[in-house]
Amino acid sequence: MRKITAGDIAEAVRRLCVEANRELPAGLEKLVRESPGRESSGTGRAILRDLAENLDAARQMAVPICQDTGMAVVFAQVGQEVCIEGDFEAAVNEGVRRGYVEGLLRCSVVADPLRRKNTGDNTPAILHTRLVPGDKLELTVAPKGFGSENMSRLHMFTPAASPEDIIGFVAETVSQAGANPCPPVVLGVGIGGDFELCACLAKKALCRDVSQRHPDPYYQALEARMLEAVNKTGVGPQGFGGDVTALAVNIETYPTHIAGLPVAVNVGCHVTRHKTLII
């Protein structure tokens, strides 16, 4: 068994919280910088160039790329040959606390959904843990702002639904959201599983690098069709109209029941952030 201490985990999460908030994944940054060349609207092109300049400013000044530094979503893949010394969940939350407080990131979590008092340190995190073979611990931190999160949707389709129905649902989700999620957006689409798993699949899809298409050619083609449909809505950069409403669509799937076809759309803004570290 390989031992990993709670202190090592807390430090890794602290670092990931800060770095994820300051720099976009390389694949997404590339799409942002290339997007003015695909935009016919003069206003849209100006906005997209401003977004690229904002990425430069955040990097140069070591500040967050968005004022909403999000709720910390943590995906942990724990090797079955790993022995964690200490409380794993407490270590993750300690890392989030230190990352947000010491990193001077905005704290946006309330302790109770109805009695809304801020926790003051952005804890607790949303933690998804999975046991996997091996002796490594992989941690992905995805700060999720709620301007985009609030625009996300889930629909329990019947098995009679066609790919066109699902594409229409995805495009409708973006059209109804309008300017609220700060487009151009990145979309995570979960298909299959059950009610809660398809939502988790959609969030997981947002953590896949946008330069990586789905490994199954069928779903790779569906990603492309969804992206085309969303960009035809005309919402455009920051909702001012144009060609670039979405930068990418990532699909994740899972087997499902013969009587169901759950579909979730998790909307991410143009700063869909995530960073991974392996211990």
Interval 203-248: pLDDT, tens: 999 999 999 999 999 999 999 999 999 999 999 999 999 999 999 9
> What pLDDT band is residue 202 in, cutting at 50, 70 and 90?
very high
Q: What's the pLDDT score for residue 30?
A: 97
Among candidate residues 102, 109, 85, 104, the one with its CA nearest the CA of residue 8: 85
Q: What average pLDDT score do residues 102-125 get?
A: 97
Q: What's the pLDDT score for residue 92?
A: 98
Distance between alpha carbon 147 and the CA centroid of its chain, in Å?
A: 12
Q: What's the pLDDT score for residue 144?
A: 98
Cα separation of 167 and 183, whole Å? 18
Among candidate residues 151, 191, 186, 174, the one with its CA nearest the CA of residue 239: 174
Interval 143-200: pLDDT, tens: 999 999 999 999 999 999 999 999 999 999 999 999 999 999 999 999 999 999 999 9
Q: pTM for this one?
A: 0.95
Among candidate residues 5, 168, 200, the one with its CA nearest the CA of residue 86: 5
Q: What average pLDDT score do residues 34-40 get?
A: 97
Are 182 and 70 in contact by the 8 Å Cβ rule? The answer is no
> What pLDDT band is residue 141 in, cutting at 50, 70 and 90?
very high
Are 265 and 187 in contact by the 8 Å Cβ rule? The answer is yes
Cα separation of 28 and 24, whole Å? 7
